[in-house]
Chains A and B, each alone.
Chain A
């Protein structure tokens, strides 16, 4: 039997800040029939560069193909894929829970404390709990609170991640590009 080599990869993609790129990037996944599990887009630490953090289940060959196809888009500077052990990763979740249930059942606040979550707002109707961590910790808290029948709303952010590597690929790339620009101008 063929071994299942599918795993969750995190793609970090850096692009110029131009409209329309999100659909170009998502189209690369769609065309290869890979579902995007989570997506985060924000400005990066490099001026003018936007950072996309995308997670998807696929095998490594597919991850290579996806990054190559993304880098083919004119305004994409770099695309890389990572496994979980190569990144510091985080997600944030917000739970809106019923104040009356919370007051009646002490297990609710016990669970919140046990999971290292914090209550950021309480009023007579609801409380808001914030939990930061990796997916399985957040899902674990959600499952517990669901059992206690107190969850009114739940939302979980897309994954964000930074690399553990000691070299900054984007900086190196941009430095090399600047060097090429100078060479070209001087020729």
Chain B
């Protein structure tokens, strides 16, 4: 058999896994692999980012919208350490990703060689699996195992630390197909006894409430969820990451859970008699004070990760498995029910929130532009069919609150880690993961500057990211907390900003600034009608607050509707 280099084996192994896009940045220790990549440019579309953090976030954005494994490739040392934030982000948000880092040759390991860093040591606690490839012979196996681990079970990031001698060493390549690891069971069998107990609890419940998490999207269980909810007539609330698992306007979708979610779902969490959590992890931003969280209710938890059971909230019944299977199993056993009175009970809260908060956010009569109205107008201009990408902060909270979803896998946001700077590169990745859809990025003036260099990637690729910059000249969310909880002491939150329109134009990206409400609709139309990327800067009210809000540590049903 013909012998090839480990680097060439890596290319063939990636092709064997169906990789078509790689986000990366070359450097010393990964050069043999980049040399091999030069011959695979047609099948492996390499997107040169402008910083390695951009590569991992782009891979995340790609993975989140496509459902495929995102792939990033970087060099050793600083190249690898620059990926750390994205790896940690992907772990906490269950994003399937494989990061290939160059590494010095094994003879140099541990000698403090140039651009040597203990990548496996650094990334082990923040990845699903981290492995050092030390021999060319291990490439095929390690890549296959990496992709299997990244995408199976609860997905997550995998790191391959690719030693230089393994890249240059010669090997007879044969593709590997890892689909079984004896110490790892990503496909737990559905336990029918648990399904039957769940159905019984559901059928005996008068006031059931479902919490929808990203697990529904990750398990491709959107249809199964809908069938279950509609048959049993159960209202639901969603997490940020679960937002597009069910259409925004579905009659059983009561809105968003948690700190900046909707009033109804949060109040009713503490009034239901049965809480059914599906593919979510009871994050503290969703639960508020655990001591008072849903204490009146029995709780069923559907999840594929056994470590999530009883982690934050003690549950009465655990249903382990992919919710695509467990929901499909439970639906035939639940009674076709009508919970009309219970569902109607959400309405007064929705009306109260509408009058106190939503109406003001969406239909201001005067004053500067508000975040909410910009978000809703963009969403509607894209027929509510766009992909929402957000950065982190007020832009994220407002975008998640007011963007509307009709299609699945349509939200890309850094939910768990809350990574400022995530948005711009993640949006680039999303344009490659879903090239036929409109990708709308909402970003603040703080977060944009954390990865602003990726405008270069957008320029080079013509990546059609519609960047909506919500500029309030503040680090808005921290400022809001300072206003509410730190006596208005604005410690280092006012921003001195550059001319973003000029910066965009420097990168050849069409840009416009909107100050007046009267100009907003036309500007959004122009943005969406312009092929390729576009930056729309909106000068929004400087000291605006995201409401409602459950103050940190407070009971989840005690939401502030005004400051």
Give the Cβ gap from B146 to chain A, nearest Cβ, in Å: 10
Interface stretch of the complex, out of A67-75, A80-88, A111-119, A125-133: A67-75
The reply to whether A31 and B125 contact each other, CB–CB distance below 8 Å, is: yes
Name A68's contact: one of B129, B182, B183, B306 (CB within 8 Å).
B306
Interface residues of B in 181-205 (CB under 8 A from A): 181-185
Please tell me if B530 contacts chain A, counting CB pairs below 8 Å: no
Please tell me if A76 contacts chain B, counting CB pairs below 8 Å: yes
- Inside 8 A of A16's CB, which chain B residues have their CB? 182-183
The reply to whether B310 and A77 contact each other, CB–CB distance below 8 Å, is: no
Please tell me if B518 contacts chain A, counting CB pairs below 8 Å: no
Determine chain A's interface SS by DSSP, over half rule: helix
Interface stretch of the complex, out of A20-28, A37-45, A134-142: A20-28
Please tell me if B305 contacts chain A, counting CB pairs below 8 Å: yes
Smallest CB-CB separation from B182: which chain A residue? A177
Interface residues of B in 286-316 (CB under 8 A from A): 305-307, 309-311
The reply to whether B307 and A71 contact each other, CB–CB distance below 8 Å, is: yes
The reply to whether A177 and B185 contact each other, CB–CB distance below 8 Å, is: yes
A20-B124, A74-B149 are contacts. A64–B310 as well, Cβ < 8 Å?
Answer: yes
The reply to whether B305 and A72 contact each other, CB–CB distance below 8 Å, is: yes
| Measured CA separation A67–B348 after assembly (Å) | 44
The reply to whether A71 and B306 contact each other, CB–CB distance below 8 Å, is: yes
The reply to whether B182 and A27 contact each other, CB–CB distance below 8 Å, is: no
The reply to whether A74 and B183 contact each other, CB–CB distance below 8 Å, is: yes
| Measured CA separation A89–B183 after assembly (Å) | 26
Please tell me if A110 contacts chain B, counting CB pairs below 8 Å: no
The reply to whether B310 and A61 contact each other, CB–CB distance below 8 Å, is: yes
A24-B124, A64-B310 are contacts. A184–B180 as well, Cβ < 8 Å?
Answer: yes
Please tell me if A65 contacts chain B, counting CB pairs below 8 Å: yes
| Measured CA separation A180–B506 after assembly (Å) | 58
Please tell me if A122 contacts chain B, counting CB pairs below 8 Å: no
What 0/1 readout, one digit per residue, does chain B (339-370) give for beta carbons within 8 Å of chain A?
00000000000000000000000000000000
| Measured CA separation A31–B125 after assembly (Å) | 10
| Measured CA separation A31–B126 after assembly (Å) | 12
Give the Cβ gap from B179 to chain A, nearest Cβ, in Å: 7
Please tell me if A181 contacts chain B, counting CB pairs below 8 Å: yes
The reply to whether B183 and A69 contact each other, CB–CB distance below 8 Å, is: no
The reply to whether A77 and B181 contact each other, CB–CB distance below 8 Å, is: no
| Measured CA separation A24–B120 after assembly (Å) | 11
Please tell me if A15 contacts chain B, counting CB pairs below 8 Å: yes
Please tell me if A174 contacts chain B, counting CB pairs below 8 Å: yes
| Measured CA separation A8–B306 after assembly (Å) | 24
Name B182's contact: one of A20, A31, A65, A174 (CB within 8 Å).
A174
Interface residues of B in 481-534 (CB under 8 A from A): none
The reply to whether A77 and B183 contact each other, CB–CB distance below 8 Å, is: yes
Give the Cβ gap from A140 to chain B, nearest Cβ, in Å: 39
The reply to whether A23 and B183 contact each other, CB–CB distance below 8 Å, is: no
The reply to whether A77 and B124 contact each other, CB–CB distance below 8 Å, is: no
A76-B183, A77-B183, A180-B185 are contacts. A65–B311 as well, Cβ < 8 Å?
Answer: yes
The reply to whether A72 and B307 contact each other, CB–CB distance below 8 Å, is: yes
- Inside 8 A of B182's CB, which chain A residues have their CB? 16, 77, 174, 177-178, 181
The reply to whether B124 and A23 contact each other, CB–CB distance below 8 Å, is: yes
Name, among B130, B182, B306, B309, the residue most crowded by chain A CB atoms within 10 Å (CB to CB): B182
* For the complex of A and B, 8 pairs with smallest distance between CB atoms: A68-B307, A77-B183, A177-B182, A74-B129, A72-B307, A74-B184, A75-B183, A181-B180
A-B contact pairs, 16 of them (CB 8 A): A16-B182, A20-B130, A23-B121, A23-B124, A24-B125, A31-B125, A68-B307, A72-B305, A74-B181, A74-B184, A75-B184, A77-B183, A177-B182, A178-B182, A181-B180, A184-B180
New contact pairs (17) apart from A15-B183, A68-B309, A75-B183, CB-CB < 8 Å: A16-B183, A20-B124, A23-B121, A65-B310, A68-B306, A72-B305, A74-B128, A74-B129, A74-B149, A75-B184, A76-B183, A77-B183, A174-B182, A177-B182, A177-B185, A180-B180, A184-B179
